[in-house]
Amino acid sequence: MLGFTPGQIKAKIGQIVEFSGIDAFIDSPVKTYSSGMFARLAFALATEVEPEILLLDEIIGVGDEFFQRKCVVRIQNMIKQGMTIIIVSHNLDFLVTQCNRLIWLDQGKIVMDDIPEKVADRYLHEQGQI
């Protein structure tokens, strides 16, 4: 929330809590949240502040199917608005359907950087899954 005034933060709190779906627990101490609740709140917060670049690490696997779909829709809308989103995931189906570029890393080194379908096919082939 760096760069936001207290008034701007206060104005966004309702939208953040509503998107996260944890409104019944919002007044509970964060230390009592499950990892899923914490991730829901973190995703809602990170996407509501409209960053120029968003880094997501395996976030799409959090929560129930309804929340996951809400996340995908929000990500798609952010991409349409021209935001740069970097998604770290092992979910190839998600990456192929949602990304316009895929970079395969192995121990921190780039193995392949291309359109998602090509990278996924080569990855699956080299892993013996095709």
pLDDT number for residue 15: 94
Compute the average pLDDT of residues 102-122: 96
pLDDT number for residue 111: 97
pTM for the model stands at 0.80
**Domain 1-89 belongs in CATH node 3.40.50.300:** yes
**Taking 70 as the threshold, does the pLDDT of residue 77 lie above it?**
yes
Compute the average pLDDT of residues 82-101: 92
pLDDT number for residue 64: 80
Query: Is residue 99 within 8 Å of residue 68, measured between CB atoms?
Result: no
Domain ranges of the chain: 1-89, 90-130
Category of 124 on φ-ψ map: left (φ > 0), alpha (ψ -120 to 50) or beta: alpha
**Taking 80 as the threshold, does the pLDDT of residue 60 lie above it?**
no
